Structure 1
């Protein structure tokens, strides 16, 4: 889970943070850009490999071969991989040069490494969330620390051994090690690489953890009442036992800048506090 304040923006040459929400049945969705007061229409269909749109550009170092750009990718439903056994639902790509991009999303089979960029046509029927953050390369170790606890399925890695060896937690993550001793939950903080950086908190827990993620970890850390949108968590119920730290469920359907979405066709999981100053994506 990643939580950060303020708005988001993503551009290829100067991108810092972006959130793109694609409602069910739509090919473009809405994007929230830093310093902008409201959502804007995404300019291209997500599968457009010819268009100059943010996520295609951000993933150029993933879908093409660049000698000095390296990345690792993880997805519990990676393209061309069957029989994956993992308790993690994480789907992300981390690319690095002199700066790093961390792209968090909910799309199975996306992106395909070293293959021409596309978006799975079968996933247009579902609601999806894509987040792009630019960070300093030095912060990859904090991200690795959070991922190590969650144990995602890493399906691609071309980060040179010389770079991996300088980051002990990243090395354990890429080698497929898993935590066997407590703590089985983690909180890490990174910042976007920008003139006015935004703090991003990363909460994670392993399959060994008994803690319920919303009430026991997120609401407790934020010290706020939270509103949750989730189809996956069948056991989640509204909870108003703790004053100032209630867990409320967002009622379906919703509208994002005029585009409708319902839980039945939306695979995203997210939460916001009552005042809306923080957005948390849950994987």
Structure 2
């Protein structure tokens, strides 16, 4: 899902910064504008997280460097997400929204998350793949603000339990790549780096593994923005302007973190993740999750209407 920034529009959902478009494993030929606001439990994200608020026996890990309550972490991973699981499997939600999701009383969406665009990727995984997520979180070094680990599930998810206990990687290599397969059989590639990786996620690693030039859309507001990089075998170009359906917005209005192959005749990758192309992010844990998919990559690439050349 892709939440639009708050914009001037005849539709109140857009004016409030609560409009979003989505694609799913079944509906992915084009972006679909949701009729629901992202702050309602009937939204795609609200529905995905419903078990968090209605099922006391659900295994959960909530992590966010800007948690709903308390201080922002400047040292833990720059990474935001949710793991929910029962004995058969569960979901991994990767997103970019600060102070989200809330703990406890029920689903809501923070006012602070309405101004800018935000990205969401939700994948359904079986038990073994969820344990792979636990391995990745040890590298990402997330700031975990809520866990629920029912005894009956702790033996099923040893790697997630370690991640929930803040076990992190103590020795090189400071990065890990793994394949994940969804319950429906779709293949994803997860990239996770620790703060000791010390290089740009996209130009130093992801583009090389995917063998693809990439357009990368990340947060560009603030100091230390990294320029587009054409020095390696594969180019990484910063996105400057996006057009989603009929709505245009600048990267400075967008807090999303995603990348797409520049030439779909060669590769058809889309990645959604955690890390901005900014200098201080070289010293933060985090990662991205990529999928090779013709329709998704076509729709993301169409949304890039201006980029920064090298």
Q: TM-score range by the shorter chain?
A: 0.7 to 0.9
- 2:26 pairs with 1:31: no
- 2:115 pairs with 1:134: no
Correspondence for 1:53 among 35, 43, 50? 43
Confirm or deny: 8 A CA contact 2:57 2:150 kept in the other structure.
no
Q: What residue is the counterpart of 1:282 in the other structure? A: 273
Confirm or deny: 8 A CA contact 1:21 1:127 kept in the other structure.
yes
Confirm or deny: 8 A CA contact 1:76 1:91 kept in the other structure.
yes
Quick one: structure 1 residues 282 and 40, their matched pair in 2 at CA, closer, same or farther if it must change by over 3 Å?
same
Distance in 2 between residues matched to 1:71 and 1:207, nearest whole Å: 24
Q: What residue is the counterpart of 1:230 in the other structure? A: 218
Richer in helix (by share): 2
Correspondence for 2:36 among 41, 44, 49? 44
Q: What residue is the counterpart of 1:273 in the other structure? A: 261
Q: What residue is the counterpart of 2:187 in the other structure? A: 199
Note the alpha carbon deviations across 1:67-103, whole angstroms, 9 max, x for none: 4322111111111122534341211111012230111
Distance in 2 between residues matched to 1:170 and 1:53, nearest whole Å: 27
Distance in 1 between residues matched to 2:257 and 2:72, nearest whole Å: 24
Confirm or deny: 8 A CA contact 1:61 1:70 kept in the other structure.
no
TM-score by length of 1: 0.84
Q: What residue is the counterpart of 2:251 in the other structure? A: 263
Gaps of 5+ in 1: 1-19
Distance in 1 between residues matched to 2:212 and 2:173, nearest whole Å: 24
Quick one: structure 1 residues 237 and 85, their matched pair in 2 at CA, closer, same or farther if it must change by over 3 Å?
closer
- 2:226 pairs with 1:211: no
Tell me the C-alpha RMSD between the 2 structures: 1.9
Further displaced range: 226-235 or 204-213: 226-235
Aligned-pair CA distance for 1:165: 4.1
Quick one: structure 1 residues 268 and 148, their matched pair in 2 at CA, closer, same or farther if it must change by over 3 Å?
same
Correspondence for 1:187 among 177, 187, 192? 177
Q: What residue is the counterpart of 1:16 in the other structure? A: none
Note the alpha carbon deviations across 1:104-139, whole angstroms, 9 max, x for none: 111111111222211112321111111111111221
Correspondence for 2:168 among 175, 178, 182? 178
Distance in 2 between residues matched to 1:140 and 1:60, nearest whole Å: 19
Correspondence for 2:75 among 86, 94, 97? 86
SS for the counterpart of 2:259 is strand
Distance in 2 between residues matched to 1:161 and 1:89, nearest whole Å: 29
Confirm or deny: 8 A CA contact 2:31 2:245 kept in the other structure.
yes
Aligned-pair CA distance for 1:166: 4.8
TM-score by length of 2: 0.77
Confirm or deny: 8 A CA contact 1:106 1:267 kept in the other structure.
yes
SS for the counterpart of 1:82 is coil
SS for the counterpart of 2:101 is coil
- 2:129 pairs with 1:148: no
Confirm or deny: 8 A CA contact 1:128 1:267 kept in the other structure.
yes
